[in-house]
Amino acid sequence: MNSNEVGSVVLVVIGVVMVSAGVLMIWLGRKSRNGTLNRNHIAGVRTGLTLSSDVAWYPAQRAAARSTGIAGWGSIVTGATTVALSLFSLPFSTRMLLALCLTLGGAAWLLGWAIAGAFAARRAARDAVDTP
């Protein structure tokens, strides 16, 4: 395998990982929005307050659902673009630099929206617990 072939394989792997992360985030966002994501220690916005009661858990997950979905779609677009990049006949260094920029940008997008969702969830959980 020459460097261009290795580069193509690397881009496809990165793209598949990003698309998979996006699909997972969209699935999580839909379950959160529908109120079917049960309280757990693995997925969802997990804070001391949300893990302590369903009264806080469900409103928090619903509040974060939109941001979670947006994070997922951005990751899917990033992954698909990275896979598409593997099809172009560009020099190895150019493709890897573009892939790095895409991947870091996509990861920042995902993280930014996840954090935005966490803030919305925290607010919703506090409001739910404070409401008589």
Contact 47, 126 (CB under 8 A): no
CA atoms of 60 and 65, how far apart (whole Å):
9
Q: Give 10-residue mean pLDDT values along the chain (132 residues).
A: 81 93 96 95 94 95 97 96 89 89 93 95 94 68
DSSP string of 74-100? HHHHHHHHHHHHTTS---HHHHHHHHH
Which pLDDT score is estimated for 3?
Answer: 74
**pTM, two decimal places:** 0.88
Which pLDDT score is estimated for 86?
Answer: 86
User: Which residue from 121, 127, 126, 114 is spatially nearest to 60, judged by alpha carbons?
Assistant: 121
CA atoms of 92 and 103, how far apart (whole Å):
16
CA atoms of 15 and 48, how far apart (whole Å):
34
Which pLDDT score is estimated for 132?
Answer: 64
